[in-house]
Amino acid sequence: MIIQNVKGGYDFLPKEQKIRNYINGVLKSTFENYGYQPIETSILCYFDMLAGKYDENNDILNEIYKLTDQGNRKLGLRYDLTVPFAKFIALNKNEIKLPFKRYEINKVFRDGPVKVGRDREFTQCDVDVVGLDNQMIEAELLSLYVDAFTKLNIEIIIKFNSRNLMSGLIKEAGVKEELISSTITILDKIDKLSKEELAKELLNIDLTETEIKTLLDYFTLDLTKLNKKFKNTTNELIIKGLTELNNLVEFIKKLGLEDYCIFTSSLARGQDYYTGNVFEVYEKNGKLSAAIGGGGRYDKMITDFINDGNSYPAVGISFGLTSIFELLKNDETLNNNTSLDLYIIPLGTKSESLKLANKLRQYNLNIDIEMNDKKIKKSLDYCNKENIPYVIILGEDEINNQTFNLRNMNTKEEYPIKFNNLESVYNIIKKDR
């Protein structure tokens, strides 16, 4: 037996997990500031439900972990949190009130290529709203992005676009209806391919040279020029797309988010379930090339899941926790943080030290105890190494006198504390928090 992790799956040391917990804590707090509620969905799903919204050539179908249960039912591990959320709404529509705002931070699984920022087993973080079909909620989600990443001290830019505009421009260029989806997939790579490589891929799906030239002309225009060029168009998709984008831009300006948000006409997000505006977030200074967040509007998915004659418009965003961790893992401030407030070193007073620790924990202090009979110097060296801010050395004299010293490991100052006044320990430590 070889003891190893599956490729694309990882264990995390305490110092790493503390950073991951810090990231999750900042995000959860931000989500709840905006009125989003936590939910949890099932990891195991029926395969047909996971695969139902994709055509048979979509790459995601090859990345679903497939399995069967003892009843020979075809199952799969969830590859994102969006499809399970659609199922959640379908099963609980009578228990929740729309609009419904949720967030979920949970494991997902994808049997795909492994690279920096892309694992096979990873934690995904989604924020979604069902029941609102306007750009006001989309603007709130962009604001949430800026707020959350500012708290994490990560500078970002947010690219945004409309899938309707993309489809409309492709249709306007004369591309056949059945080739629109494939064309979108290729145009989404416009920043990664040269003009010649892009043209070659488009030729390979049977676009004409005239169509390709027209497309490349359209997709170099900014929003102002697109508005001007198609001011009198009768193309309904272009009209809808420009309306969505112009409404969103108005909110962006009112919220003062212009420095963060950039219109990008080729942005598609790669998934066919998106029906309107889409977003992708990048680290502004190029420390990581991959997106660290993304999302958009997907009005049909939940509507089709429930299929009761009602409409369930939805929009959501995700945070790339693995990528965010990559950006923060070497942050000295986070690495030097400890979750402990206090370390107790017993000198022949093990039971008394346990009792003291339990009493102090009632003041919401995080406390550990030396239990391996180490010498005082080694124990203090450990505290310095782990950045534990306070220490109590508890010997027989301290028990007899009913007084101990609370030592500040940074300043070396000591505070005499009576056993009947333990609250003062909390008050001293609280000042440094």
Output the tens digit of pLDDT for each of the chain's 433 residues. 899 999 999 899 988 999 999 999 999 999 999 999 999 999 999 999 888 766 566 677 889 999 999 999 999 999 989 889 989 999 999 999 999 999 999 999 999 888 766 789 999 999 999 999 999 999 999 999 999 999 999 999 999 999 999 999 999 999 999 999 899 989 988 888 888 999 999 999 999 999 999 999 999 999 999 999 999 999 999 999 999 999 999 999 999 999 999 999 999 987 678 999 999 999 999 899 889 999 999 999 899 888 899 999 999 999 999 899 999 999 888 877 788 999 999 999 999 999 999 999 999 999 999 999 999 999 999 999 999 999 999 999 999 999 999 999 999 999 999 999 999 999 999 887 6
**Per-residue confidence (pLDDT) for residue 52, from 0 to 100:** 75
d(CA 38, CA 33): 12
CA dist 6 to 11, 71, 259, 270, Å? 10, 27, 41, 27
**Per-residue confidence (pLDDT) for residue 332, from 0 to 100:** 81
Instruction: Give the chain's largest Cα–Cα span.
Output: 94
d(CA 145, CA 395): 52
d(CA 361, CA 192): 54
Question: Do 87 and 49 meet the contact criterion of CB atoms below 8 Å apart?
Answer: yes
**Per-residue confidence (pLDDT) for residue 337, from 0 to 100:** 75
**Per-residue confidence (pLDDT) for residue 115, from 0 to 100:** 77
Phi/psi-derived region of residue 157, left when phi > 0, alpha when psi is between -120 and 50, beta in every other case: beta
* Phi, psi values for residue 45, rounded to 5°: -135, 160
Whose CA is closest to 266, among 140, 138, 135, 170?
170
**Per-residue confidence (pLDDT) for residue 273, from 0 to 100:** 82
d(CA 280, CA 196): 25
Delimit the CATH 3.40.50.800 region(s) of the chain. Answer: 339-432
Alpha-carbon dihedral angle through residues 125, 129, 133, 134, given to the nearest 10 degrees: -80
**Per-residue confidence (pLDDT) for residue 342, from 0 to 100:** 97
CA dist 401 to 185, 388, 398, 418, Å? 76, 26, 5, 9
| Full-model pTM | 0.88
d(CA 307, CA 295): 23
**Per-residue confidence (pLDDT) for residue 305, from 0 to 100:** 85
Amino acid at 332: E
Q: Which tokens go with 194?
A: 């040269």
* Residue found by looking up tokens 């500031």 in the block: 33
**Per-residue confidence (pLDDT) for residue 211, from 0 to 100:** 94
Question: Do 183 and 202 meet the contact criterion of CB atoms below 8 Å apart?
Answer: yes
CATH fourth-level superfamily of 339-432 = Anticodon-binding domain (3.40.50.800)
- Which helix (H) or strand (E) is 278 found in, with range? strand 277-283
Whose CA is closest to 89, among 320, 270, 316?
316
d(CA 162, CA 413): 61
Domain 14-328 has CATH 3.30.930.10: yes
> What DSSP letter does each residue of 143-212 carry, written as one string?
HHHHHHHHHTT--EEEEEEEHHHHHHHHHHTT--GGGHHHHHHHHTTTTTS-HHHHHHHHHHTT--HHHH
Delimit the CATH 3.30.930.10 region(s) of the chain. Answer: 14-328
* Residue found by looking up tokens 């228990």 in the block: 95
